[in-house]
């Protein structure tokens, strides 16, 4: 495998193994968004799903074919053919081919116990299943990644047979032989010993796929690389079944910055923190503050000795420069640093506040207070722009609220949800005119949206050109039950682009109102003129 030199290829399976995590369920749209983000990061292989097991995944592959990827190769996942069947007749293998991806990953059994207990077939038939499945996929011109399921457990139980399964895949032309610790219980010393032995017999490049059941997935992955493996399979944030897969957000910086391998461009790695948070957001999983490298606490220093040492020399209490992975040190944020951020942002938006130091300080204090209450402006720049403009008096309201009432009525005979009625009555002031109207909706927030549009479109007909494309709700601290704070993020679009807004309140109606009206105000500010 010397031709790879120090390069280690990254094979991401967030969209397949990652979705096995409890609580994660991604739509096709979600998967495409994540895949595009991974491609931008420079990930080499993106496994999109299991077309033979989940028909919904086929739509992903159809849409992925039409997209021009920067460098990622899209992979479809499947199992070897069933026992006693031709590979070409196996519906799972056929679905794999129909996905029309440049790469396929095919998983086969290495552990004799699994062959006889789970598959209930013979050891010899399993070898044919591997050979014929890999062979057929190679005949169709695919790059074939062979995943040797339970390889380490299999090797410990019956080394000769486990090795034979790899040779069957290699002989049939597999491009990669991936050693999988499917149950996640292997120790780094075992991974080292077994990988070193395997390297004497297998010429094809090797990969590693680990799970975190022993809290050792990252250690096992980097140990395998130090033994010559040149592909690491894992997921963003370590999402995956049970305790998760190897966390690529930890594997990559360890390989690249600590061990001197080359995985991604260093300029791309500066987006690692952003990608980690983006994927958490799409998957609606609360990010883990203490997550190594990319967590918000990963480079947070409490007061006192640490902080003063850090200021003298960051190496004293930091194992890595946080900027290398796009994270940042959190100490007492100096007002100066805050001011330069705000000034930078304002300048970008064409708002001139740099002359007025008091104004900047007030705005920083206001933003900090809002962030403390749960607002997040990183994902809601339209709301931030409105906040800055309002703060600088460079904004005139397009409308003001006089009153809003919402009535939701549920009767059992209305059936299970569909028949529930939601109505909103709204009274707005536009200039010196008052408009009072009402509308229904599929829920209280939709009713407010409809009533607001109905009232405003009389004055601003251009509002018909904008529409909502995404509506997300995050409960900020679930421990207060139904009384908890919620954050609403709304993404809106017109023919020229999209923008995002945010609202936070204990009341979901209020939080939605803030985000909805910010969205309309932003649209009106940028693209329209008042009718009268």
Chosen residue from 71, 203, 215, 267 binding a copy of itself by CB under 8 A: 215
Contact flag: residue 243 with a copy of itself (CB under 8 A): yes
Contact flag: residue 244 with a copy of itself (CB under 8 A): yes
Nearest CB to a copy of itself, comparing residues 184 and 207: 184
Chosen residue from 20, 268, 328, 437 binding a copy of itself by CB under 8 A: 20
Contact flag: residue 379 with a copy of itself (CB under 8 A): yes
Q: How far is the CB of 240 from a copy of itself (least distance, A)?
A: 8
CB atoms within 10 A of CB 477: 11
In this chain, which stretch among 59-67, 131-139, 284-292, 385-393 interacts with a copy of itself, using CB under 8 A?
Answer: 284-292
DSSP annotation of 89: G
Rounded Cα distance between 108 and 167, Å, is 12
- Residue 435, φ and ψ in degrees, nearest 5: -125, 135
- Residue 164, φ and ψ in degrees, nearest 5: -60, -35
Residue among 355, 361, 275, 327 at smallest CA distance from 33: 275
Rounded Cα distance between 426 and 447, Å, is 10
Contact flag: residue 502 with a copy of itself (CB under 8 A): no
Rounded Cα distance between 514 and 118, Å, is 55
208 is written with which tokens?
A: 């590693």
Contact flag: residue 336 with a copy of itself (CB under 8 A): yes
Q: How far is the CB of 306 from a copy of itself (least distance, A)?
A: 8
Query: What part of residues 426-455 is at the interface with a copy of itself (CB under 8 A)?
Result: 441-446, 448-449
Q: How far is the CB of 143 from a copy of itself (least distance, A)?
A: 25
Query: What part of residues 287-306 is at the interface with a copy of itself (CB under 8 A)?
Result: 288-293, 295, 297-303, 305
Chosen residue from 117, 355, 495, 496 binding a copy of itself by CB under 8 A: 117
Residue identified by tokens 């292989």 is: 45
Helical H segments across 99-247, by residue range = 112-117, 123-139, 151-157, 159-171, 188-199, 217-226
Chosen residue from 212, 233, 235, 521 binding a copy of itself by CB under 8 A: 212
Chosen residue from 238, 269, 275, 383 binding a copy of itself by CB under 8 A: 238
Query: What part of residues 33-62 is at the interface with a copy of itself (CB under 8 A)?
Result: 53-54
Q: What is the chain's alpha carbon radius of gyration, rounded to the nearest angstrom?
A: 27
User: Which DSSP helix (H) or strand (E) runs through 361?
Assistant: helix 357-372
Query: What part of residues 316-335 is at the interface with a copy of itself (CB under 8 A)?
Result: 316-320, 332, 335
Rounded Cα distance between 438 and 428, Å, is 11
Contact flag: residue 254 with a copy of itself (CB under 8 A): yes
Number of residues interacting with a copy of itself: please give it, by CB under 8 A: 132
Nearest CB to a copy of itself, comparing residues 356 and 362: 362
Query: What part of residues 163-192 is at the interface with a copy of itself (CB under 8 A)?
Result: 182-185, 187-189
- Residue 94, φ and ψ in degrees, nearest 5: -65, -40
Q: How far is the CB of 170 from a copy of itself (least distance, A)?
A: 25
Contact flag: residue 512 with a copy of itself (CB under 8 A): yes
Contact 499, 492 (CB under 8 A): yes
Rounded Cα distance between 201 and 163, Å, is 8
In this chain, which stretch among 110-118, 193-201, 339-347, 351-359 interacts with a copy of itself, using CB under 8 A?
Answer: 110-118
């Amino acid at each position: 495998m010397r031709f790879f030199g120090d390069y280690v290829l990254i094979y991401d399976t967030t969209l397949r193994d990652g979705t096995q995590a409890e609580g994660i369920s991604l739509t096709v749209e979600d998967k495409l968004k994540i895949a595009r983000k991974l491609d931008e990061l420079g990930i080499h292989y993106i496994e999109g799903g299991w077309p033979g097991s989940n028909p919904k995944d086929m739509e992903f592959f159809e849409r992925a074919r039409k997209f021009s990827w920067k460098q990622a190769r899209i992979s479809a996942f499947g199992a070897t053919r069933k026992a006693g069947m031709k590979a070409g007749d196996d519906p799972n293998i056929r679905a794999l081919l129909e996905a029309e991806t440049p790469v396929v990953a095919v998983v086969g059994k290495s552990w004799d116990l699994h062959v006889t207990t789970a598959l209930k077939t013979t050891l010899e038939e399993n070898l044919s299943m591997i050979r014929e499945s890999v062979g057929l996929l190679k005949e169709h011109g695919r790059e074939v990644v062979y995943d040797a399921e339970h390889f380490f457990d299999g090797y410990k139980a019956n080394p000769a047979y486990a090795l034979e399964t790899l040779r069957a895949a290699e002989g049939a032309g597999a491009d990669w032989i991936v050693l999988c610790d499917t149950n996640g219980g292997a120790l780094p010393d075992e991974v080292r010993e077994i990988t070193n032995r395997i390297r004497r017999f297998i010429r094809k490049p090797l990969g590693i796929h680990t799970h975190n059941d022993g809290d050792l997935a990252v250690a096992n992955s980097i140990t395998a690389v130090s033994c010559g493996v040149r592909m690491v399979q894992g997921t963003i944030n370590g999402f995956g079944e049970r305790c998760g897969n190897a966390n690529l957000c930890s594997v990559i910086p360890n390989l690249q910055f600590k061990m001197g391998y080359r995985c991604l461009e260093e300029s791309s790695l500066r987006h690692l923190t952003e990608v980690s948070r983006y994927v958490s957001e799409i998957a609606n999983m609360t990010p883990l503050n203490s997550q190594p490298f990319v967590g918000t606490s990963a480079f947070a220093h409490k007061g006192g000795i640490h902080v003063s040492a850090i200021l003298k020399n960051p190496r004293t209490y930091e194992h890595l420069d946080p900027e290398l992975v796009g994270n940042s040190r959190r100490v007492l944020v100096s007002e100066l640093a805050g001011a330069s951020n705000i000034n930078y942002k304002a300048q970008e938006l064409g708002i001139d506040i740099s002359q007025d130091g008091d104004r900047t300080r007030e705005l920083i204090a206001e933003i900090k207070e809002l962030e403390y209450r749960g607002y997040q402006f990183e994902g809601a720049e339209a709301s931030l722009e409105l906040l800055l403009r309002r703060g600088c008096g460079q904004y005139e309201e397009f409308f003001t609220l006089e009153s809003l009432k919402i009535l939701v009525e549920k009767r059992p005979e209305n059936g299970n949800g569909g028949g529930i009625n939601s109505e909103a009555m709204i009274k707005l002031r536009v200039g010196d005119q008052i408009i009072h109207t009402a509308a229904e909706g599929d829920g209280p927030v939709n009713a407010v949206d409809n009533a607001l549009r109905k009232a405003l479109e009389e004055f601003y007909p251009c509002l018909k050109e904008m529409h909502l494309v995404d509506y997300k709700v995050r409960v900020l601290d679930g421990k207060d039950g139904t009384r908890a704070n919620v954050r609403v993020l709304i993404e809106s679009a017109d023919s020229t682009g999209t923008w995002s807004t945010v609202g936070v309140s204990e009341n979901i109606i209020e939080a939605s109102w803030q985000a909805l009206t910010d969205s309309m105000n932003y649209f009106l500010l940028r693209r329209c003129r008042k009718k009268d």
